[in-house]
Chain A
Amino acid sequence: NAGVTQTPKFRVLKTGQSMTLLCAQDMNHEYMYWYRQDPGMGLRLIHYSVGEGTTAKGEVPDGYNVSRLKKQNFLLGLESAAPSQTSVYFCASSYSNVRDTEAFFGQGTRLTVV
């Protein structure tokens, strides 16, 4: 039972390069989220999706784009990477949007922009 899988696990980018982070879930969840975690800060929501074909901005969306073409996949794109985007990125999914819903997280992607 894979749960939420993120690809890649590690990546080093040069400033200005682009990349896409892939999140895949096999739990048939409607809701998917991208977070970033920085030292001394909690996880912050970048973008989220309430279903296939939908996306919406979270708390820190600038510099990122997302797509949810298939229900099981949620892609996070960086068009022109900046050092400020060095972070650990976590994808999460949940079956419901009610406040007591448990979110399931991927193992994270550590991105370094030099």
Chain B
Amino acid sequence: DQQVKQNSPSLSVQEGRISILNCDYTNSMFDYFLWYKKYPAEGPTFLISISSIKDKNEDGRFTVFLNKSAKHLSLHIVPSQPGDSAVYFCAASGVRQGAQKLVFGQGTRLTINP
């Protein structure tokens, strides 16, 4: 049972345009979400996060939007740059049994074309 879903395995965007990556979740108990970026042969690195008490969080070119009623979040990258080409994972975060538990989506491979 995939609790966090990224339904687009891949996305191709022209340099300078907006990239929109989507993520859906099923468990309404999730109240914090993070986006991680992963380059080939490297581990994921934290990109941006959002709490369920907000509907938007912005950090430079990256903005994450949260629609709780739809159980949907999206990551916007504007303008897209070639260095943004990577796999992006969204994750729902919770605390159980004394540790942070991250539930990851399948990932979306973003390719920025020059």
Residues of A within 8 A of B (CB): 4, 31, 33, 40-45, 48, 50, 56, 58, 90, 92, 94, 96-108
The reply to whether A105 and B102 form a contact with Cβ atoms under 8 Å apart is no
A108 contacts across to B, CB distance below 8 A: 41-43
The reply to whether B44 and A105 form a contact with Cβ atoms under 8 Å apart is yes
**Interface-lining segment among B12-20, B61-69, B72-80, B89-97:** B89-97
Tell me if B's interface is mostly helix, strand, loop or mixed.
strand
Output the least CB separation between B9 and chain A (Å): 8
B interface residues, how many (CB within 8 angstroms): 32
The reply to whether A105 and B43 form a contact with Cβ atoms under 8 Å apart is yes
- Cβ 8 A contact of B49, one of A31, A33, A100: A100
Number of A-B contacts (CB under 8 A): 72
The reply to whether B99 and A97 form a contact with Cβ atoms under 8 Å apart is yes
**A107 and B41 contact, Cβ closer than 8 Å, known pairs A41-B106, A42-B89:** yes
Interface members, chain B 8-43 (any A CB < 8 Å)? 9, 31-32, 34, 36, 41-43
The reply to whether A99 and B95 form a contact with Cβ atoms under 8 Å apart is yes
The reply to whether A102 and B95 form a contact with Cβ atoms under 8 Å apart is no
B104 contacts across to A, CB distance below 8 A: 42-44
